[in-house]
Structure formats: structure tokens, C-alpha cells
Amino acid sequence: MSDTAPSAAPSPLDAFAERYVKLVLAVGQHDDSYVDAYYGPPAWAEEAKASRLSLEELASRAAALERELQALPAPSDAFVALRHRYLVHQTGSVSAWVRLRRGEKLRFDEESEALYNARAPVHTDAHFEQLQAELDRLLPGPGPLMERIERFRREFIIRKEKLDIVFRTAIDEARRRTLAHIPLPEGEGFSLEFVTNKTWGGYNWYQGNAKSLIQINTDLPIFISRAIDLAAHEGYPGHHVYNVLLEQHLLRERGWVEFSVYALYSPQSFIAEGSANYGIDVAFPDAPKYLREVLFPLAGLDPQRADLYVKVEELSKKLAYAENEATRGYLDGRLTREQARDWLARYRLMSPERAERFIANADAIRSYVINYNLGRDMVAAFIERQGGTDAAPERRWQLFRELLSSPRLPGDLR
């Protein structure tokens, strides 16, 4: 692949797309985490660094670009119309992020709507208590349920000397399964690193030209199911594949320069995180069997315990919306930091250490948390409504590939 997009038939949107890319790069000068990836013209990045526009100027430029995009007539071509809406909503999220950086206060739901074009449902305490009752029946015994789950999970920690072989095996299998359904360009691939002192569990740093750096944080013990989760989420068919397909089909083939930059706090992340989480189910519909027959023996764990472990993890994942409620309460000022941490321990069944790490991350990513759970559920519903179900795996892969190769955003999933 070349480092620049090929010439393509000019579009009225091209000039707006260039302004959008330069706007995102300029905002990135005020927040190191904002530009998650960039592989466009180096001169544009240098220009953003040299000029370092003020937040006031960026607010003005973002608002003007959004107005001008909204005023354009809707393209007659359905796929180009998706591009138009993508630019409108992505620019709107840039505008919202700049307003937040300038000190504007938004409640959790208002912020998620402004940044991610989505608003998470509210779940009551009773919803989580019902799920916990099911877990309580699976793991009876003395002591609080959170402590029983923590004791149970300790049986399934991957020893540090086994991490590399277990993760590489899972990633290789995820890649093999993905390539059977999604063609990827020759030479695509990733580097894998184990790191410490991070607030996240795993991260994909997409570097352009179909290459990624995948990092796994080993600060806390890593449970065996995370090997499948991270292999699919960060790699195949998750973040790595999503970025490769956008670069290949939209940037390189169509010359749509807006796909040379990834603004992290934007609607694109809703699709990225949601599809990456749903991609776990797409790639590993047989996860219990694969864990029991391959990863458990490889990690030196007892395969006879695999089925119960999977049932506990599947139920625990349904508690994920508790993370939204804790973050909503914390950011809206209804919960102190300590209360939010205790709420996570009570309803998400997190250990105090994991809950503290989660709240530390919430300070940084704020309403981004909805992208993981609501994003996953909306992507799943979008694909399953069109026939991509467990009973039709080929159709599911087809729809998943089409989603990853398109400029669709949350509003297009409804």
C-alpha cells in the first residue's frame, strides 16, 4: 500500500473532509489521547503542531464546518449519503469535545449523545440484583457473592509465563477464522506487547498500512476468557480488522481522506468498540468448546472446570451496564468517587482494586463507557435484524464485513 490515497473522481465532500481532518489534528494538540490514529499527509500533522490553534478558534471552525455540512443537499448515492452523515456527526462531536474542554458542563446522557450519537438506557438496582441471584445459584456458599466470584476466578488466572503462548494462540485462531470470511490485504499484521502501568486492559494502536500494535496490560491478573476477548476485540475481527478495512476500502480505494484520522471521542468509537465486542461472538460462537479443548490445557488449567467458568462469565458480562450507572452517577455528581467504587463492587461485583482502576479510567474517558456495552448490543441487533444470527453464520459474517467497511454510525444502526 502507498502512504497516500490514489486519485479519485472529485466530490463536493472532499474539501469538507480535508477541513475535518485538519480540525481533528488541531484538537489533538490540546489532548494527547484525542487522535487515536493518523496516517494521512505528514504535512497536515506538522501544520497542526506548528499553528496550535486556540480552543476558541477551534470552536468557531468546528461550528462553521458543521453548519456548512448540514446545509449540503443529501447525496443521491446511498453509500455517499452515509459519508455525508458521517462527516456531519463526526464534526458535531468535535464541536462538543471542544466545548467540554472549554469548561461547558454536560450531564452523562447529554455528553454521550453529543459525542457518540447514542444514549444508554437506565437500569435499576433490581435489574442487577436479579442477575446476581442467578450467579448466586451457580456459586453457592458462605460470604458475599463478590468475594465468592473472586475466589472462583482465581482458579482461572493465566500465569505470567503462559501469557504469551496463550494470547498468540488465541489471536492466531481469531485471525484464521476471520480470514476465512473477510479478505485482508497482503502484509497486514500486528505486533504484540505486554505492558504495565495502564488504566486499560488492552489497546490497539493502529499505525496505518494495515499494521497494528496490540498491547496487553498485565497490572492485574488476567483470566483465561480474556485471551479470546482481547484476541477478537483488539485484533480479529475487531479493531485491527475494522481499521484495515476502512483504510483499504474508503481511504485507499475511494480517496476519502477523513478515514486517515481516528478521533477517539467520536461516534466512530461507538461502532469500533461495539463491533469489536460483538466480533467476539462472531469469531468464537464455540467459545466454551475452544476454551475447554485448547486454551485451558495450554494455560495449565483444569478443562473439567471450563463449562462452569463460562456460565459464570456469561452471566457476569450481563452486569456490564452497571458500569454505565456507576459512571453516570459519578459524573452527574450523585455519587462520590468512593460511592461509585462501592457501587461497582456491589452491583458489578468488581474487586475493590478493579473498581478503583475503573473509576480512575472513568475520569479520563467519561461517557465513553457506553460504547462497549450499548455499542455491542446495537451492532448485534442491527446485524441480527437482517438475518445474521447464530443459525446463519455466513450471513452474519457478510453483514459484519459490510459494517466494518462502511462509514456507518450509531444513528444508522437504529
Tell me whether residue 227 is in a domain. Answer: yes
User: Is 258 found in the same domain as 189?
Assistant: yes
Q: pLDDT tens-digit profile of 84-94?
A: 999 999 999 99
Which of residues 356 and 262 earns the better pLDDT score?
Answer: 262
| 158 within 8 A of 224, measured Cβ to Cβ | yes
The Cα-based distances of 300 to 150, 151, 156, 292, 293 in angstroms read 19, 18, 9, 11, 12
- The Cα 109–Cα 328 span in angstroms is 8
| Alpha helices per DSSP H over 121-186 | 125-138, 145-153, 160-179
Give the domain-ending residue among 86, 116, 146: 116
| 346 within 8 A of 338, measured Cβ to Cβ | no
So what's the pLDDT on residue 7?
Answer: 45
| 337 within 8 A of 330, measured Cβ to Cβ | yes
Q: Is pLDDT above 80 for 393? A: yes
So what's the pLDDT on residue 2?
Answer: 39
Tell me whether residue 6 is in a domain. Answer: no
C-alpha cell at 380: 448485534
The arithmetic mean of pLDDT across residues 121-141, rounded, is 95
Supply the range of the domain harboring residue 102.
12-116
**Among candidates 295, 320, 322, 323, which has minimal Cα distance to 309?**
295
User: Is 132 found in the same domain as 112?
Assistant: no
**Max avg pLDDT among 192-201, 347-356, 370-379:** 370-379
Tell me whether residue 265 is in a domain. Answer: yes
User: Is 164 found in the same domain as 20?
Assistant: no
User: Is 164 found in the same domain as 137?
Assistant: yes
User: Is 263 found in the same domain as 163?
Assistant: yes
Tell me whether residue 3 is in a domain. Answer: no
So what's the pLDDT on residue 307?
Answer: 93
Query: Strands 211-217, 202-208: parallel, antiparallel or unpaired by DSSP?
Result: antiparallel
Q: pLDDT tens-digit profile of 244-289?
A: 999 999 999 999 999 999 999 999 999 999 999 999 999 999 999 9
C-alpha cell at 99: 466545548
Q: pLDDT tens-digit profile of 203-228?
A: 999 999 999 999 999 998 999 999 99
Distance from chain centroid for Cα 46: 28
Phi, psi of 247 (to 5 degrees): -65, -45
**Among candidates 373, 370, 381, 371, which has minimal Cα distance to 403?**
381
Give the domain-ending residue among 87, 116, 145: 116
User: Is 169 found in the same domain as 316?
Assistant: yes
User: Is 138 found in the same domain as 267?
Assistant: yes
Share of the chain above pLDDT 70, in %: 98
Cis amide leading into 75 (omega within 30): no
Share of the chain above pLDDT 90, in %: 93
The arithmetic mean of pLDDT across residues 39-68, rounded, is 98
Q: pLDDT tens-digit profile of 342-354?
A: 999 999 999 888 8
Using CB atoms within 10 Å of the CB of residue 232, give its burial: 0 to 12 exposed, 13 to 18 middle, 19+ buried: buried
The arithmetic mean of pLDDT across residues 64-80, rounded, is 97
Tell me whether residue 1 is in a domain. Answer: no
Domain count, the chain: 2
Residues 6+ apart with CB under 8 A from 381: 413
Place of cell 485484533: 235
Query: Which amino acid, 74?
Result: A
- The Cα 315–Cα 296 span in angstroms is 20
Place of cell 488465541: 170
Q: Is pLDDT above 50 for 3? A: no
User: Is 102 found in the same domain as 130?
Assistant: no
So what's the pLDDT on residue 8?
Answer: 59
User: Is 257 found in the same domain as 177?
Assistant: yes
So what's the pLDDT on residue 200?
Answer: 86
* Helix%, strand%, coil% for the chain, nearest 5: 65, 5, 25
The arithmetic mean of pLDDT across residues 365-383, rounded, is 97
Query: Which amino acid, 213?
Result: L
